[in-house]
Structure 1
Amino acid sequence: MHLHVDVLRRAALTALLLLGVLLPGSVLAQVQAELVAAQRSVQPGQPLQLALRMQHDPHWHSFWKNAGTGLPTKLMWDLPPGWTAEAIQWPTPILVRDREGNITGHGYEGLSYLPVRLIAPADLKPGSEVALKAQARWLMCETVCIPGKAAVSLRVPVSSDTPEADADVQAALAALPMPASSDGWKLAATREKDGLTLRVAAPADMVDLHFFPADEFVSYKVPQTIGNRGARALLKLPLDAAETMPADATLRGVLAYSDAQGAYRGVAIELPFVAEAEASTLVGTADLGPAPTSAAADGGTRQLSFVVLLFAVLGGLILNLMPCVFPVLGLKVVGFIEQAGNDRRKVSLHALSFTAGVLLSFWALAGLLAVLREGGQQLGWGFQLQSAPFVFVLALVMLGFAMNLSGVFEVGMRATGIGSGLQTRTGVAGSFFSGMLATVVATPCSAPFLAPALGAALALPTVQSFVVFTAIALGLALPYLLLSVFPSLVKLLPRPGAWMETFKQLMAFPLYATVAYLLWVLAGQLQEAALLNALLALALLGFGLWLYGRGTRPEARGGRARLSVAAGVLVLVTAVLSGWPRAPAPEQLQWEAWSSERVQQLQAEGRPIYVDFTARWCATCQVNKKVVFASARVRDYFREHHVAALKADWTNADPLITAELERWNRSAVPFNLAYPAGGGPPRELPEVLTPEIVLSALDDATPQGRD
């Protein structure tokens, strides 16, 4: 039920926020951004230190360069001729969380400064003034996230005198992460099968350590276990199962900590991995064991709460309105009374026996799911919402339940007859057995509430999942208990009718919303190609269930019906196998974000460059990736000739990419360029690519050619 509540709450908040954004004059400004300078003037040929000043509203945050779940802030400059801009100098980030305390990534809150350095041309004239402009873009989040942007500008006078300093920006510069080579710091990183280890020896005592990775192969949401004693520490860093760690990777990022005075500081780290014995010798932290970590620190851990139990009971109550349960509700209570006569004690005993049967059936289901979960953990699934395979399976299950409620297919209709037959049993034992079997045969049409319970059972610890199922069972049995105590209330029950089928179909839509939410989670865990496979698998699942439904209709007969069922089952299996999230191949190309500055830098280094202008909505681009960039020949060529692969992602509007396409007289993607080693104009490639076309273009662009 937790998923149900979460989805509905997020959907409502998102709708209200979008309404506020779309209505004229109601645009919310949760982050105010402006450009400020560390110096009052600029000297010709000298650097000018600026900063993007960002004031966040309470509970709102923006993101660091490795955001986690989110997008980093960007500055796109519009500078006068001769000026150049360097990359943002990122301050030490913090762990940002939503209102529920879940870790959402790495970023900034309150007042923050993002310093950036510009280099002025030497021909500036003292006494003049320059206008510096940029487009700032960021993602701002609280419970929901929305993109933010601002046109920022600054006019700076040119002077030959030493400029006056701005205290706030200078303080921000002083607080930037210090280099790991600073006096007194000793650090070493090791790589194990189950994760990474960072050993630290500092010049002074430190507390509240956290390592913010610059690369995505280190998980941002799983807690880091830390052994900390004064000026020495040992951090165990978990790997992200959805990301591939390159064989030649280094440990890059920022180690954040609080010093003895409580000041928040950071150390910039870029370490090669060494053997454990060498690391212990270098740093001397072998005696530090990892400290136990509180489960509350894990934003992904789901804890049982009163809200979950309340909605579990309500879900059990609403189960009684399903078409295969409601018609027998009153009949079962009347049966209790007829068997017991006017003896209220016996009526209550029948109701309690029936409730015990309901409880036993739900406990059996919870036990079965617990066994499956343990088996899944042995297979390495993890069974939590941080696991892409688990989220994928849960999305398939939710979609299947939703389509069942929508009437695409039916299950369990013959079994429902068994429930009706149980009305003839007598005695307390019969009531117990009736409650147990009637619940089991009713489960096929109780999907909207057993589906969230299934999610809770797999995500919560075993004991807590049993509590959730117990709450659902008590909710289902509650009307029987109340009506047995107050039998006159049976007359107030509405008559069974067409309204039950309408209600059942209406209950499908919260499940469709749950599927949408799970796909959003999956989008943050999978690479583009794997996410597309998962989405297509959901479409295949729908087709398979439709085929199954066609073959199991009451009027379906003979070989055609059996063929439809068999085809449906085959399509269902194909859907699961084709969309199953797998770890990406270790030799996939490593793409960098395109920028004209990066192209110039790589050309100055003499490297060949391959630029792919692409977008997620471009079908031809996706085919090119499948056909070309997954080719072992292309990957080997890129690696052997040190070809830099740059991706210009046009999925969202980007004026810089648009301008570059216009410069080449293009207005659409795909568009590919191969720059030769040592400089020179690039070679344009056709829209539809093959490995031979790409290799031929690279041959022409690379003087040494193909080996």
Structure 2
Amino acid sequence: MDTPASSSSGAGSYVVTTPRVRAELVANAPDGIVPGKSIELGLLIEHQPQWHTYWKNPGDSGLPTQLDWQLPPGWDAAEIAWPTPHPIRIGNLVNYGYEGKVLLPVKVQIPTTFAADSTSATVQLKASWLVCRVECIPEEGSFSLAIPAKSSTGMYAADFAAAHAQEPVALQGESSATVEGSKLQLRISGLPAALQNQSLQVLPESANTLHHAMEAGKDFTQQWDGAVWTATVPLSDARGDTPAELPLVLTTTDRTAAGNAVAWRTVAPISGQWQAAAVAQVSPELAAALAKNAEQQGAAPAAPPAASGSLWLALLGGLVGGLILNLMPCVFPILAIKVLGFAGHGNQLREQRMAGLAYTAGVVLSFLALGGLLLALRATGEQLGWGFQLQSPLVVALLATLFTVIGLNLAGLFEFGHFVPSSLAGKQASNPLTNAFLSGVLAVAIASPCTAPFMGASMGLAISMPAAQALLIFAALGIGMALPYLLASWVPAVVRWLPRPGAWMDTFRRAMAFPMFATVVWLVWVLGQQSGIDGAATLLALLVLLAALIWALTLQGRTRWVLSILLIAGGAYLISATGKNLSNPAPQIASAAQPNARWQPWSAALVAETTAAGRPVFVDFTAAWCVTCQYNKRTTLSNPEVLQAFDGKQVTLLRADWTRQDPAITAALNQLGRSGVPVYVLYAPGKAPVVLSEVLSVQEVVDAVQALPTQG
């Protein structure tokens, strides 16, 4: 019986898919798992067209694929049995790697102590690879595979056989390498007779030994001396010290099999010493290719700190983004009431200025705290982006509760001072700086997810910067948000411009309760997207009980305490009975792909598959808690002119919903140099992705789509 290995419910899956490769952990155990015998494991990589990964010696650039196994006790994994690679020429560079489909097999010895009565064994793998076309992208995956112990696992036997057929065969003849200046004289015997008088390729297994981009007849000559193959090959300009021996793989230029093999391996002892390069430097060709990659990706190199010009632009973007945040419906009431409060202070300029500084400190420190938390979590490996706090349903519920309380306070239902002891209320009144500071903290708590407009590139750049520079950008965002209030507190002309105090101020305050209640409606809707209709209903019921409790606490006498106790008990019962609805994920029925739906759920594999088929793709990276996303969705992306342009170019429309944390979407945003939503990307076959503005206009989308070639 031939039973395929199944995925494990442990950490990871046996398949990892990215826009460039599909990687699968596979096994070949035709006799099951037998103590004292061996099985084969392997990483099967299927590349998208024009993409490649690398051999053990990647050549002039690149990195070899790395496999880190976590096996049952006593299991012993050998090294990768590397199939013979193909030379991949890119300009003046030559790399060694694989295109199409390749299997990297590994022999695993089973110990004699393996329990013969086991039903299965789980193997885990952490793999990393560099995949390149013109640009290069490091990728990794965690794999887990359960292998049946008693039944045959052989559905990939043909792939293992093909991989072994591509392995170099060890030569039995003699080999030698003699140093002559900057060249190496090779002399190799034992090759099959069918190869005589054919041209061979030399693939060194060791990096920084031979010059990879050698040209036949110029710096690389070869000939046959009877059954002995001889060649003169150039040494690498980045060569290190002379090793004792040089492992080589020889193959034909057309990969014609001879003696049931396509390549042959030998280890040639080296006679003489070559002069090592003073410093192993990156070749000019490689440096040019890396610069081209960076230019095409639209990003600065990762290692060095950001250029000062990029940093200043990011700081300016943070400042402008912070200013715009003051127009958000949840922030504007706080700002307006605080500024109008100056009208009641008369000429107390010093108090106004101190309040302005306290509010600014609350805003800036809150943004620094959020930014520092984000950077710290990302440093530990968490795949998070800006706005991560609203990806938690419990945080959304707490914010809805907070804004309900604020709205009821603004509406005049209660005053905070009535719920605290008179001594504390006196301290609050005598210390307005604390109130101003907390107002700044409050404004940031809800405004932070909406920083994407005019800020996407700055936030993406910030997360890739050193921590100190990144925190400067977060501070700039806070300064921009606090700037209107700070200027109003320090410029007397603003106070003189304000209307005189009067009954209108109480009316204005009560009117500002409604933007707060509107924010609560939005937050309940967000929670409904995350936890479904049951979660939204539970939150609404709890908010009603909270409002009733606040009203009860405004009563007098015995009624106040009876009603309050009953309402608290009712709230506790509701939380215990239905509280789990707040954190349960929403049913995924609505996210399933519908054949006739205009917008389909996003996946990196679907983007790669669609563009590989020659069709363009437009991706809307969105979230329910992002106000700008919803505005763009209901205006620009629903505009008939935009939809007609999409249809005319046969653009596939995908929506990446980041309402809840999704590592795959976070990784895709990071690759685009963004750390939050909204992000709008147009993928065209064979071209770099085009990232559009965060605040979309109809003309911008139509122009970008019309620039696409017409589909046949």
Mark yes or no: TM-score above 0.5.
no
Higher relative contact order (CA 8 A, sep 6+): 2
Compare CA radii of gyration and give the structure with the larger one: 2
TM-score computed with the length of structure 2 as normaliser: 0.34
